[in-house]
Amino acid sequence: MLGKVFKAYDIREKFPKPLSPKLAWQIGWGSAQFLLERAEAEGHDDPMMKHVVVGQDMRTSSPELAEALQKGIRDFGASVIDVGLVDTPFIAFAVNYLGCCGGIMVTASHNPPAYNGFKICRIAAKPVGMTTGLDEIRRYAAMGNQDKVTPAGGLREERDLWEAYRRHVHRFLDPALLDGTKKVTVSIDASNGMAGVMVPKVFGGVPGLKIKEINFTTDGTFVHEPNPLVESNLAEVQDSVRSSKADAGICFDGDADRCVVVDETGRTIGCDLLTAWLAEGVLAGEPGASIVHDLRSSRALVETVEAGGGTPVRSRVGHVFLKQQMAEHDAAFGGELSGHFYFRDNFYADSGAIAFAMVASRLAGDRRKLSTCLAPLRESWVQSGEINFEVEDKDEAMAMLEESFPKAEIDHLDGVTVDCGSWWCNVRPSNTEPLLRLNLEAKTQAAVDKRVDEVSEILDGTRVDH
């Protein structure tokens, strides 16, 4: 069963089979062993380094899984600090605020109600993926047997850190919003997820924010799938923005670490273009800063960062890689197409709450309509969107693509990127499916259509629309 629930970046499956309380205990046991060993190996002997922060989302299975997970942690010998019902970025904050050896969030993010899982981070909230510790945790968990161990007696305490978290996020808010001298109206769709808890606790009572609440109930059911990357899931926030004449709308995913923004007309803003717009504000206050982006992002982002005097840093796709690049380059800000936004002053970690704070602050500082601000970015390049192909031999198909454009600039940071100047594309293999994923960009829609047809023929695969 352990093999079924461990994924590339987290642990996730249906509850109670295969993800059962028994497995949750084993995962707690294995996680405690991994986190304590890492802390010792890095020379941390502070007593707090024997503590693991645990939080949970609003899913009906979360309390049972959290209880079993915590027992496994404590039976191994680590102590638990239970922060209760929180958004996933809260865990990164708590681990750093308290100085713990790591943290675990019980959540299945944007998956349907039948799913649940665990997101794990270690010291300083560094992410734990399959190549950075999950494989070790899986091996340790396989050796844990609740019926045969003598509990080591780790302690458990509950901590309410919401006020400290609120102060932390407010550091990213324009002071004019905090004192009410500027006003911004935003429609927020919490997707019946943890934003329904986080937004009132963090942004409630801020004088300059008027919030139109959508789907803020948190009973473990969803009015729509809690995935803001699916355009149909944005319908309610789009309608609310238009009907209430809000300045913008924002839709969070289930655990509120990702978000998508729509402008005052209800039009969706691509997360790469939102990164570019937010980067302009970052660079205005910190000229020369590095901005990290995933390599699928529009060239409009790169051009915006360079025009602002910043340094664009390309990254492989995936939050583990984005966080690594953020830390390595001491980047002030970063974003990826999946809706994760990263902040140096948030321990290089992502945060939906801080992304919202920055959007509201930029709206307060630039009283133009959001659609007007985004217009130059939307008009400079045309994107294909991600197109999936079922391909029998992925490596051979990528090699054929590279050979077909001998004069192009080629790199292999993630799959293969072909840059022909007036157009470019990236083709990368899926980690979990027999698919190649194509992202292509050119100056006109006609050029995009032509080049997509050309690349499709070279890849020689079946196009899959999902």
Q: Indicate which CATH number applies to the domain containing 138.
A: 3.40.120.10
Q: What is the pLDDT of residue 461?
A: 81
Specify the number of domains making up the chain. Answer: 3
Residues 113 and 205 in one domain: no
Residues 173 and 134 in one domain: no
Residues 189 and 132 in one domain: no
Query: What mean pLDDT is predicted for residues 436-459?
Result: 97
Residues 304 and 358 in one domain: yes
Residues 232 and 262 in one domain: yes
Residues 121 and 236 in one domain: no
43 compared with 131, residue with greater pLDDT: 43
Nearest alpha carbon to residue 34 among 163, 133, 131:
133
- Provide the domain limits for residue 317: 165-380
pLDDT digits (tens, 9 = 90+) for 208-217: 999 999 999 9
Average predicted confidence (pLDDT) for the chain: 96
Q: What is the pLDDT of residue 304?
A: 98
User: Residue 318 in contact with residue 9, Cβ under 8 Å?
Assistant: yes
Does residue 119 carry a pLDDT above 80? yes
Does residue 95 carry a pLDDT above 80? yes
Does residue 370 carry a pLDDT above 80? yes
pLDDT digits (tens, 9 = 90+) for 408-431: 999 999 999 999 999 999 999 987
**What is the C-alpha separation between 405 and 385, in angstroms, rounded?**
21
**What is the C-alpha separation between 299 and 382, in angstroms, rounded?**
10
Query: What mean pLDDT is predicted for residues 278-284?
Result: 97
pLDDT digits (tens, 9 = 90+) for 151-182: 999 999 999 999 999 999 999 999 999 999 99
Residues 224 and 324 in one domain: yes
Residues 376 and 413 in one domain: no
**What is the C-alpha separation between 316 and 180, in angstroms, rounded?**
40
**What is the C-alpha separation between 435 and 442, in angstroms, rounded?**
23
Task: Report the CATH number that the domain containing residue 437 is assigned in CATH.
Answer: 3.30.310.50
- Of the residues 31, 61, 79, 109, only one is catalytic, namely 109
Residues 27 and 144 in one domain: yes
Residues 73 and 154 in one domain: yes
Does residue 377 carry a pLDDT above 80? yes
Predicted confidence band at 9 (pLDDT cuts at 50, 70, 90)?
confident
Does residue 125 carry a pLDDT above 80? yes
Residues 189 and 315 in one domain: yes
Percentage above 90 pLDDT, the chain: 94
Q: Which among 362, 380, 398 is the end of a domain? A: 380
Q: Which among 350, 380, 410 is the end of a domain? A: 380
Predicted confidence band at 466 (pLDDT cuts at 50, 70, 90)?
low
Query: What mean pLDDT is predicted for residues 63-91?
Result: 98
Query: What mean pLDDT is predicted for residues 120-137?
Result: 94
Q: Which among 110, 131, 160 is the end of a domain? A: 160
Does residue 432 carry a pLDDT above 80? no
Query: What mean pLDDT is predicted for residues 87-115?
Result: 97
Residues 102 and 31 in one domain: yes
Does residue 300 carry a pLDDT above 90? yes
pLDDT digits (tens, 9 = 90+) for 37-74: 999 999 999 999 999 999 999 999 999 999 999 999 99
Peptide bond preceding 434 in cis form (omega within 30 of 0):
no
Percentage above 70 pLDDT, the chain: 100
Residue in this structure with the two tokens 């028994």, named with its chain if needed: 22
pLDDT digits (tens, 9 = 90+) for 256-278: 999 999 999 999 999 999 999 99
User: Residue 234 in contact with residue 187, Cβ under 8 Å?
Assistant: no
Q: What is the pLDDT of residue 122?
A: 96
Catalytic-residue membership of 361: no
